[in-house]
Structure 1
Amino acid sequence: MGALDRHAAGVAQGRVVEFRPSGSSMVPLIRSRQLVTVSPVDPTKLEVGDIVLVRVAGTTYLHLVSAVNTNTGRVQISNNRGRVNGWTTYARVYGICTAVDGIPRPRSAGKVRKP
């Protein structure tokens, strides 16, 4: 189990988590090692452009929602460089990024799932 899997498990249990992901796939939205805050999410409220902690095809990502299909309850996930990771169900969307280095992410507050 990787670090993102452990954070996803915590969010799935209803906890807000903070961590410092590494990599450059989300630059400039998230730079490597910036502190991110991820809260449980109501996936029915997701929109294109939201950053989510999600599992796609066996891998956990902190990536963008690039498309939403409300009829099937699925979202498409991509990085910020144009690479599409694939589609996944609402059940595999664990959380939404609500802040990066303490700066709130736009449109995220109303999507947090209440315990």
Structure 2
Amino acid sequence: MGVLDAMAGRVAAGSTLGFRPSGNSMVPLIHSRQRVTVAPVDPARVEVGDIVLAKVAGTVYLHLVSAVDATTGRVQISNNRGRVNGWTSRARVYGICVAVDGVPRPRVDGKLRTG
């Protein structure tokens, strides 16, 4: 189990976490080792452009929602460089990035899971 798998489990259980993911696939939105804050999300509320913590084909990513298919209840996850990771069910969307280096992300109001 990788670090993001452990983070996904904790966020799915209701924790808001701060951590420093590595990699360059989300530049310029998130640079490698920048501190991100991820909170539990109501997956029915995510929309294109949100940065989410989600599992796609057995791998957990902190990537963009690039499409939403409301009829099937799935979301498409992609990096910020044009690579599509794939489609996943809303049940596998665990959290939403609410801040990067302490700077709040836009459009997160009303999307956090409560309770």
What band does the TM-score fall into relative to the shorter chain? over 0.9
State how 1:12-91 maps to structure 2 within 5 Å.
12-91=12-91
CA drift at 1:58:
0.7
CA contact (8 A) 1:98 1:109 kept: no
- 1:24-60 per-residue CA deviation (whole Å, 9 max, x = no partner) reads 0000000000000000001111110000000000100
List runs of 5+ in structure 2 lacking aligned partners: none
Where 1:9 maps in the other structure, the secondary structure is: helix
CA RMSD of aligned residues (A): 0.5
Aligned length: 115
How many angstroms apart in 2 are the aligned matches of 1:26 and 1:114?
Answer: 27
How many angstroms apart in 2 are the aligned matches of 1:96 and 1:71?
Answer: 22
How many angstroms apart in 1 are the aligned matches of 2:38 and 2:86?
Answer: 21
How much identity, in percent, do the aligned residues show?
Answer: 72
How many angstroms apart in 2 are the aligned matches of 1:47 and 1:12?
Answer: 19
CA drift at 1:70:
1.1
How many angstroms apart in 1 are the aligned matches of 2:54 and 2:15?
Answer: 15
List runs of 5+ in structure 1 lacking aligned partners: none
Give the TM-score, by structure 2 length. Answer: 0.98
CA drift at 1:7:
0.4
Give the TM-score, by structure 1 length. Answer: 0.98
